[in-house]
Each structure stands twice: as structure tokens, then as C-alpha cells.
Amino acid sequence: MIKRFTGQAVPATGFSIGVSRLMSALKNLNRLEDNAMPAPIVVCVMDKSRIADYQQMVGELRAAGIRAEMYQGNPKNFGKQLQYADRRNSPAAIIVGSDEFEQGIIQIKDLVVGKQASENIKDNEQWKSERPGQFECKRDELVAKIRELPAIKAWLNNE
């Protein structure tokens, strides 16, 4: 098969068990538990020179058993990063820019609470002033504060 697509003869072995068909069958038979972990927490990139710091945050969350990923696209447009987190159905986004790094804090945007609150917000000015679902905490409280988010807490209780 490799030769068919690349034109190069490459010695290889492989197998397939039809994972997608197996998952469909298990779902149809109600044999899958619905305690799936929520989508990953998205760590937004605000400062390219701090990539290692963002990766460290992702590592801390993963070490705590929480799915997390760092935004990989162009970090210049912050709105695109939040749109990406929404498309991934992420429960939260971590926001840390230069000012936050200097102060030793992080911003956590609870995207689930923010969506619920947006139903009651009438205009952009109210949205900016209230910043629903967004709060700050000390950098070393990252994992503890993420564990307190309702979507994560519900998953942890069902685990």
C-alpha cells in the first residue's frame, strides 16, 4: 500500500480491526459508558517567546489527568484561538499574556459558563464589562482551579 501512494517500496506490516465499526456496534448495543472526558482545555498562545511556559501548563494539566492542548495556529489573532476552542467544544481556555506572566497570574475562561451567560447579555458593552465565566488566579493554582470548573468537576465525579 505504501508503494501505491508514495511510489517507493517500503517493507512494512500492519493490520486492521475496524475500530470505527467496532465503536458503532458497541454504541448501538449500549455497551459504551457515557463518562467520556470532555474535550481538551485549550492553552492560548499570546506571546511566542513563552512557548515553553505554555507547554509546561499543558504538561501540568495532562499530568493531573486532564486533557489539554496548546493552540498551534497563528497566535496573532486571539479571537481565532477562542473560536478554535469553541469548535473543539473545549470546556475552558487558558489565557496568559506578558502582563499575566509578570504578575504570576493566569486567566481562565470557562467557555461553558460563558455560553450560558451570553444568552442573557444584551450588548457588547455589557459582555466586556461582565466578562462572564472568566476569572484570574495565581499561576500555581492552575490545576486546582481547572478541577473546580463545573464541566471538569462533573466528569471527575463520574470517573
Higher-pLDDT residue of 29 and 61 is: 61
**CA 34 remoteness from chain centre:** 19
Helix and strand element counts for the chain (H, E):
9, 5
For the beta sheet containing 68-70, the strands, ordered from the edge strand earlier in sequence to the opposite edge, are 68-70, 41-43, 92-95, 105-110, 134-138
Has residue 3 been placed in a domain? no
CATH number, residue 136? 3.40.50.800
Residue 101 lies in a domain: yes
What is the per-residue pLDDT across 46-93, written as a single tens digit (0 to 9) for each?
Answer: 999 999 999 999 999 999 999 999 999 888 889 899 999 999 999 999
SS3 at position 131: coil
- Total of domains in the chain: 1
| 3-class SS of residue 70 | strand
Whether 110 is in a domain gets the answer: yes
Give the residue numbers spanning the domain of 70.
Answer: 41-158
Please give the model's pTM, rounded to 2 decimal places.
0.71
**Could you read off the pLDDT of 145-156 as tens digits, one per residue?**
999 998 888 877
- Residue 36, domain member (yes or no): no
Asked whether the predicted pLDDT for residue 141 surpasses 90, the reply is yes
